[in-house]
Amino acid sequence: MQQDKLADIHILEGGVGKNLQFTSMLDDLTVDKKINIMSPWPEIFKYDSRVAHSCVLHIPPLHDHTHTFFKNYWNVYYHEPYRSNFLKGDCHVVDYWRQMYELPDVDDKRPNFQINQQREKILEQDILKLGKFILVQFTGGQAIKADNYDTENAGKNYNHGQEVVNLLREQLPNINIIVFGHDNEQKPLLNTMAFNNFGGNPKFVDKIDFMILAKYCVSFITIDSALQHMCSNKAFNKKGVVLWGTSKPEMFGYNQNINLISDYPYCVEIDPKTIVDTFLNQEVS
């Protein structure tokens, strides 16, 4: 095979949200041909028509086998903002990533992922039964459920989720509220549908399902975590409220959403009524 016919491979690090942010560049990176991706979360890219193949991030010690593997690709791109001057916090992660790839600046930094359409067909009837629904996420930081969960989550978690839900219920009694997150992160929120208990059965069970649910939700309330990036997908054109503590919307957020920033450093301490009032007053699609 001629070298110029070989695919490029792009190596990604980080969490689910950051990998979803990479999808904002996929149209630009696949003008001539599809690409391959090595990521901690290859399932995010598995169903994308612009990605030829995605595999788990694993780079073994450099020996003959490693060289043989990477020689199958025309270019190996390992552009990692978290290992660069991006850490100084002077710009948005998508802007910095685009600079690393020598791509032009864009105003719209939202993700641009493609969902698993076969799974969408399987879930379609269950989704329609929900009627109108809101997605919420108040805790995060563990894409895979683990022991000894850090309830602080680097100052990103919100501790008053139940109060927000109660206020939403008062104002929107006929709208379902679905919670994204693992059951070891917080006490179950009353009057909601959680990650694994829709109708008493595990209907919407993982991040791939919630990437689909994001397409159908009325709106969302979330901390700076995976759900923000799922619901902000450009093709869905949803708007929601994002709660910020340690991290900054200027680095990881989107102007299309309403970004509420905590007055208290290194924690998300925002009045629940302020959150709900802001949510109710936004214009949603």
Instruction: Provide the 8-state DSSP code for 184.
Output: T
2-52 tens-digit pLDDT: 555 578 999 999 999 999 999 999 999 999 999 999 999 999 999 999 999
23 is a domain residue? yes
159-168 tens-digit pLDDT: 999 999 999 9
What residues contact 132, with CB distance under 8 A and at least 6 apart?
Answer: 174, 175, 176, 218
Q: Which residue has the tokens 């397409």?
A: 215
Same domain, 121 and 255: yes
Same domain, 129 and 252: yes
108 is a domain residue? no
Provide the residue range defining the domain that includes 215: 117-281
Same domain, 77 and 142: no
Average pLDDT, the chain: 90
221 is a domain residue? yes
Strand order in the sheet with 35-39: 51-56, 35-39, 8-11, 76-77
Neighbour count for residue 15 (Cβ, 10 Å)? 17
Average pLDDT over residues 173-182: 88
Same domain, 175 and 268: yes
- The token duo for 285 is 């699609």
25 is a domain residue? yes
Same domain, 94 and 231: no
63 is a domain residue? yes
Same domain, 163 and 134: yes
25 vs 106: CA distance, rounded Å:
10
CATH number for position 245? 3.40.50.2000
Bridge partners (DSSP) listed for residue 136 = 179, 221
Helices and strands (H and E) in the chain: how many: 10, 9
In this prediction, residue 154 carries a pLDDT of: 74
Same domain, 90 and 194: no
Number of independent structural domains in the chain:
2
Residue type, 258: I
Which of 212, 239, 251 has its CA nearest to residue 18? 251
Strand order in the sheet with 241-244: 176-179, 133-137, 219-223, 241-244, 258-261
Measure CA 164 to chain center: 21
Which of 71, 100, 129 is at the close of a domain?
Answer: 100
Same domain, 55 and 172: no
- The token duo for 151 is 């309830």
Q: Which residue has the tokens 């680097």?
A: 154
Q: What is the pTM of this model?
A: 0.92
Question: Positive or negative CA dihedral for 44, 237, 109, 8?
Answer: positive
